[in-house]
Structure 1
Amino acid sequence: MSILFIGKRNDPYTDDAADTVGQLFENAVVIRLARGERLPESVTSWAGDWLVSYLCPQVLPGSLLERASLGAINFHPGPPEYPGIGCTNFAIYNGEKEYGVTCHFMEPQVDSGGIIEVSRLPIYEADTVYTLTRRCYAYQIRLFHEVMHRILAEGGLQPNGLQWQRKAYTSRDFRELYTITPSMSEAEIARRTRAVTFPGYPGPELLLHGKRYVLQELNRPIPTDG
């Protein structure tokens, strides 16, 4: 089988997945991208059996998905209830008790293709966006290994009948989540702050008289890819 793997640059989980692809498939092309980096020209002429997206930091064009004869699949760091970006943030904000990771077929519309497999994990009371995200990635790489070996053993994949539960969260939704205003209650501000705190990044933004002020002592998260 021939496979095109596209993942995130400088990410240990993507490195693990890419190494696995190289070991399992003789005819493998591996591409790693940083956020905002364009697909290399060589990819535009690729055609083969499987296209695999793993924490890919950009939406892949439909023309590329069509050139995977057996399937184009993505490993999304969220369950069917949380398609799109910033999924761990919204799950923390909504007070969920359970989360998950999803393997699904790709369509041009983000996180809308047939679901192949879902792996569930608990959300603990003490979880933060950081701890949930790290645990989510550990579940996701395990699911990746399971699906890749299933492809080798069975030759193909089929949707399992599960459905996405809502439209994908967008960058606009994510920006709204980390915006706080003076009119919000103390509880709502605390809830949003917890949902958008991630080590090493600026905090939520205060919207005041039409201007935005970043709260530097807190930490804004990176929206999860997939």
Structure 2
Amino acid sequence: MALTVPSAPPKHLAELQARAHALTGYTFADLAHVAGWQVPADFRKAKGWTGQLIELFLGATAGSKPEQDFPDLGVELKTIPITPDGKPLETTYVCIAPLTGYNGVEWETSNVRNKLRHVLWIPVDGRRQIPIPERIVGVPILWQPSLEEEAILKADWEELTEFITLGRVDQVTARHGTALQLRPKAANARVATRSVGPDGAPVQTLPRGFYLKTHFTQRILRHALGLTDG
């Protein structure tokens, strides 16, 4: 079957999975050629290029909106660069972390849970020694968190949002959270957003984002492949 760019989003989950599986084994150069895109020389000035290319071929519609990439199906798309043995090479961005307005917000109604309740993972070759055009798309994984995984994510979210609401966001480090991480997300250090200080007064700080730690996403991939934790 010839590879094409769909003209409409998938109507059902089986169609989305079929589109994802159809990409398996293709190189970035193959996909870019069909899409009429140029492959970047490096990703330093083309951050997000891979994800946007995959979105195009799957028919994602949400873009940067605070909803799943496939809102009609309730599925989020995550492209994840890995090594040949299935180790993620970087943390996975989930969504922006609001630094105000948490009154009445609970885990069950949070955007983090909304984004992670049903995820289509698209592993891609992330090795830097492989030229970008030659990197290939791996086998997709459709994942929903188990009760144990959701409990871990909920506990992390509650811990991290407590830091935010108490005006202690600047005290959060990479060591906080088991699966979920809160860290700055900005193009440069001059970008600032409104937050709450320790005394409750408004302050300016770097925007933050929620990320999944690599050991958590590696566990997801290994379980999907029927491997034990290692």
Q: When you count strand as a share of all residues, which structure comes out higher?
A: 1
